[in-house]
Amino acid sequence: MYRDTSELAENKLLILYILNKIEAPITNSYLTQIILENNLINYFSLQQYISELIENGFIDTIKQINKQLLKISTKGKRTLEFFIDRVPENKLKLIDDYLKNQSKEPEDKYTAFSRYESIGNEYFVDIKLLEKEKIIFDLRLRTSSFEKATSICQSWEKNYLTIYENIMNIFKE
C-alpha cells in the first residue's frame, strides 16, 4: 500500500512539474504526449490524475473556443515547491531534457503580439493573437499616456490567453 501511495504522489507531482516547467497553458493532448513519449505513466492513470488535480485545485483550466488548456495553479506551485524532492532526480532530468529538445507545443501554440505608437498626445496600442500564423484576435486601443500604453502591452504579453478568454466570454453572454 505504501508503494502505491508513494507512486501516486510521485506521478501527480511529476505532472505538476511538467506544467510548471512549461509555464504556459497547454492542451491535455500535449501533456499526454510528453508523459507517454517518456514512458512515465500509463494513459488511463494519467487521465485520472489530471482529473483529480483539476478537481482539487492543483491545475487550472482555461476554456477556449474549441479546446481546454491546462496550467498549474498557485496551489499546485506551492505543493510542488514543498514536495519536489519526492520525485526522483532521473525523472526530472528526463523531463528537462525532453522539454529542452522540444521547440513549441505542436500545432497548438499561440503567438501574441503587442505594440504602441504615439500620435500627438495620444497612444494607440495594437494587440494581436495568432494561431498557426493566422490572426484570430486583433484589437486597437487608444490611451492618453505612455505608461498605460506600455502597461497594456506588458499585460497582453503576460496574460494574453486569459485576456482573450475573458473578452470572448463577454461576447457569449
- Per-residue pLDDT 10s for the chain (173 aa) are 334 777 888 999 999 999 999 888 888 888 998 999 889 999 899 999 999 999 999 999 987 655 688 999 999 999 999 999 988 999 999 999 988 887 544 445 677 888 889 998 999 999 988 876 678 899 999 999 999 999 998 888 888 888 988 888 888 76
- For residues 18 and 34, the answer to whether their CB atoms sit within 8 Å is yes
Q: Are residues 89 and 116 in the same domain?
A: no
Q: Answer yes or no: do 21 and 95 share one domain.
A: yes
118 DSSP assignment: E
pTM for this model (two decimals): 0.59
Q: Looking at the 3D structure of the chain, how many domains does it have?
A: 2
Domain boundary among 68, 101, 134: 101
One domain, residues 131 and 80: no
Question: Which cell goes with 154?
Answer: 506588458
The Cβ of residue 64 has, within 10 Å, a number of other Cβ atoms equal to 18
- Do 79 and 149 belong together in one domain? no
- The residue to which cell 492543483 is assigned: 58
Residue 55 CB-density burial (10 A; 0-12 exposed, 13-18 middle, 19+ buried): exposed
Domain shared by 92 and 117, yes or no? no
Last residue of a domain, one of 67, 101, 135: 101
Identify whether residues 22 and 94 lie together within a single domain: yes
**Judgement on whether residues 90 and 159 belong to the same structural domain of the protein:** no
CB neighbours (10 Å) of residue 167? 12
Query: In terms of residue numbers, what domain contains 133?
Result: 110-172
Phi, psi of 131 (to 5 degrees): -125, 120
39 and 87 share one domain? yes
On whether both 12 and 96 belong to a single domain, the answer is yes
Cα 11 to the chain's mean position, in Å?
19
Grid cell 477556449 is found at: 64
On whether both 167 and 119 belong to a single domain, the answer is yes
Q: How far apart are CA 123 and CA 117, in angstroms?
A: 6
Same domain, 97 and 120: no
The alpha carbon of residue 77 and the mean position of all alpha carbons in its chain are separated, in whole angstroms, by 13
Do 35 and 96 share a structural domain?
A: yes
Tell which of 75, 101, 127 closes a domain.
Answer: 101
Residue 123 CB-half CA count within 13 A: 15
